[in-house]
Amino acid sequence: MTFKCLVVVAFMSVVVLPSLPAHAVFSGEMSPKVRSGDSDYADGIEAFDAKEWAKAITAFAKVVERRPHHDNAWSLLGFSLRKVGNHERALDAYGRALSINPHHRGAMAYLGEAYLELGRLRDAKILLIRLRDECRRVALTFSDGDFEDGCSEYHELSTAIAAYEKNPTEPVKPVASQW
């Protein structure tokens, strides 16, 4: 096929053929969520969203047994374990998530909340510094370096620490988010 023929075919496909409906492209939180191809992970996400912690634990435990490198499953498993009061296993799960991906901001925020629940304010503050540095690293890589508005994990942990400092007996209000 000659170049002229290719140009004519391309022109005809754009002008003559009926147009298909346009679909919007979103990024971040606006993107439509698609169920994971891993049914255990998808079940875990659904249970997590529904705050059905025992079901989430079961599903995420299956995921990490099969795929021990799945940092997000470890992080969400840790959160779910913490919600049922199993802080020891939750700390282990967060540690595994961060050993796989030391940049996992969600695991850092969740671990900081766990530290507050255990009365370990100093550890939570150290983690907040680490989270701040991670948020700056990402901001410097992808923007003008100002992470103040775009790092929800930093803000959530910072807010939790401030609330804890005002009243250590008040329960930590974790934010169940997916990263």
The answer to whether residue 90 is domain-embedded is yes
Residue 171 has a pLDDT of 77
pTM score, whole prediction: 0.74
The answer to whether residue 101 is domain-embedded is yes
Buried b (16+ CB within 10 A) or exposed e, 118-157: beeeeebbebbebbbebbbebbeeeeeeebeeebbbbbbb
The answer to whether residue 174 is domain-embedded is no
CA gap 139, 153 in Å, rounded: 13
The answer to whether residue 19 is domain-embedded is no
CA gap 125, 68 in Å, rounded: 29
DSSP structural state of residue 41: H
Q: What is the domain count for the chain?
A: 1
Distances (CA, A) of 88 to 41, 116, 126, 157, 170: 22, 14, 19, 20, 21
48: domain range?
37-166
Residues 20-29: pLDDT tens digits? 454 444 445 5
Q: What's the mean pLDDT when you consider all of the chain?
A: 82
Q: Which of 77, 52, 53, 54 is nearest to 65 (CA)?
A: 77
The answer to whether residue 30 is domain-embedded is no
The answer to whether residue 79 is domain-embedded is yes
What is the widest separation between alpha-carbon atoms in the chain?
78
Residues 82-139: pLDDT tens digits? 999 999 999 999 999 999 999 999 999 999 999 999 999 999 999 999 999 888 876 5
169: phi then psi, degrees, rounded to nearest 5? -85, -15
Per-residue pLDDT band at 38 (split at 50, 70, 90): confident
**What is the CATH classification number for the domain harbouring 135?**
1.25.40.10
